[in-house]
Amino acid sequence: MRTFIVLLIGFLVGALGGYFVGYDHGFEGAVVQLSPTETPGDEAGDAAETMRNLIGVWQGVQDTKFTRTFRNDGSVIDDYEGSSPDSEGLWMVFTKEIPDGSYIDTLQPGAVYLSMAMSESERLYFQVTRIDATTLELVFLKGGGVLSFQRIQ
């Protein structure tokens, strides 16, 4: 009986030790190669690229007194030259596949959207139709109006 208990304890110690060594050095750090058919859709990549490209200061094309600043901490500042205070809020990028839980209307697959919460009651939604190093174009989802910006910083 004593031999059985010693063997059982040894087995448990070995199994637990192997698990923790494997977990710390094997499973967690494993690199998984995806085949082309298993590659996630471009939506996540497009959303991440859009987020990177948004960060900066954008000046309105239709009204050059208006600027919108997207910061990398998720804050956004709308500024109109000659008026104060600035309007501040939070921004996030989302897609149909990575949705904003607050948005309830239909989303197009493959499209990238921008959500801006300027206050508890004011939430603005746009589709990002064009973004590159110098140009940003947003379509307001409620009214369909287009906002065009040029990067100034």
Q: What is the DSSP letter of 32?
A: P
- Beta-bridge partners for 116: 91, 124
Structure confidence by residue, pLDDT tens digits, 47-56: 999 999 999 9
Report the percentage of the chain scoring pLDDT > 70. 74
Strands 112-117 and 123-131, how do they pair? antiparallel
**Are the C-beta atoms of 100 and 40 separated by less than 8 Å?**
no
Asked if 58 and 153 count as a contact pair (C-beta separation under 8 A), the reply is no
- Cβ neighbours of residue 146 closer than 8 Å, sequence gap 6 or more: 129, 137, 138, 139, 140
3-state secondary structure of 62: coil
What is the b/e burial string over 7-32, where b = at least 16 CB atoms within 10 angstroms of the residue's CB? eeeeeeeeeeeeeeeeeeeeeeeeee
Residue of 123, 124, 122, 150 whose CA lies nearest to 137: 150
16 pLDDT exceeds 60? no
Digit-coded pLDDT (tens) for 129-142: 999 999 999 999 99
Q: Is residue 13 very low, low, confident or very high in pLDDT (cuts 50, 70, 90)?
A: low
